Amino acid sequence: MSTPAEDPAARARVGYLGPEGTFSEEALLASVEEGAVEPVALATIHDAVIAVSRGDVRWSLVPIENSIEGSISVTLDLLAEEAESIRIVGETLLRVRHCLIAAAPAELSAIDTVLTHPQVPGQCSEFLRAELATARILPSTSTAQAVRSVVEQGREGQAALGTRLAAEIYGGTVLREGVEDRDDNETRFVWLGRAEESERPALAGGQAGAWKTSVLFWGQGAGRPGWLVRCLDEFARREIDLTKIESRPRPGRIGSYMFFADLAGSADEPRVAEAIAGVGGLSEQVRVLGSYRAAAHG
């Protein structure tokens, strides 16, 4: 799909999981200078990824990992399927604070239904068990959509877990703030751009963090003893720190897995490039999902 030439003076369009008021929007607004980009709310993470590959937006910001619930599997799977045309070009960390929101003031004892994104209940399990043990938990496409639905429907007994920003946008009432299990609850978001796009988003506070690289690999040898150890040894003997590694099933292949790894350093560094090439020699396929500056905690 061809895209019209962008006006250099125009703000770059950045996709995120909408509607307005999601944690994705909070992360986006917190990580760029005010007015630097044009946020574009999209219905799903899939839409946010596809919008980049189609050129509808210059970048998208999508969640990839939560410090309590772990990785966002849909994002990993989309990166595996769309990695030929998309690269990770940056990352952002957001301190996550959940609120219980209703259409109007209400006692917690009157709440029988809670709407939210499926990733959220596990981050608020202690509050839900202690305060809303009998309430039904229903899924929504995003926390903001949950808040919007609750406010629009206006049904007594119904509430949403979402952001204070969403409550302000849609006119909801915050019944309880800070209902997450841990004060250090963080979500990691990655900035996605087209592989041929050399420009990176100008993040607030600069990009002074250490370089890190995300890779994906799999191979026929995965079923043989020691294959994964040999792959990881390519990094270990070059003293390259792996900051994360996990497996995901390959689509349509029971018993076959792909491995995602984050490692310290840029793919342009000789030792990192050599290690990736070494893994490539052992694997059916290895892909560099991107090299980018690590975000600072806090």
189 with 54, same domain: the answer is yes
Beta strand 242-249 with 113-116: parallel, antiparallel or unpaired?
Answer: unpaired
Q: Is residue 6 part of a domain?
A: no
CA 171 to chain centre: 27
31 with 92, same domain: the answer is yes
Q: Is residue 266 part of a domain?
A: yes
89 with 190, same domain: the answer is yes
CATH number at residue 229: 3.30.70.260
CA distance 213 to 294: 9
Residue 2, pLDDT score: 40
Q: Is residue 205 part of a domain?
A: no
- Domain residues for the domain of 225 are 211-293
Number of domains comprising the chain: 3
44 with 189, same domain: the answer is yes
Q: Is residue 34 part of a domain?
A: yes
245 with 275, same domain: the answer is yes
Residue 5, pLDDT score: 44
Coil, helix or strand for 215? strand
87 with 109, same domain: the answer is no
CA distance 210 to 296: 9
CA distance 133 to 194: 45
β-partners of residue 191 are 61, 90
Q: Residue 181 in contact with residue 126, Cβ under 8 Å?
A: yes
Q: What is the DSSP string of 155-181?
A: -TTEEEEE-HHHHHHHT-EEEEE--SS
Q: Residue 296 in contact with residue 93, Cβ under 8 Å?
A: yes
- What is the chain's pLDDT, residue by residue, as a tens digit (298 residues)? 344 444 545 789 999 998 999 999 999 999 998 888 999 999 999 999 999 999 999 999 999 999 988 999 999 999 998 778 899 999 999 999 999 999 999 999 999 999 999 989 999 999 999 999 999 999 998 999 999 999 999 999 999 999 999 999 999 999 999 999 998 889 999 999 999 888 888 887 656 679 999 999 998 666 678 899 999 999 999 999 999 999 998 877 677 889 999 999 999 999 999 999 999 999 999 999 999 999 876 5
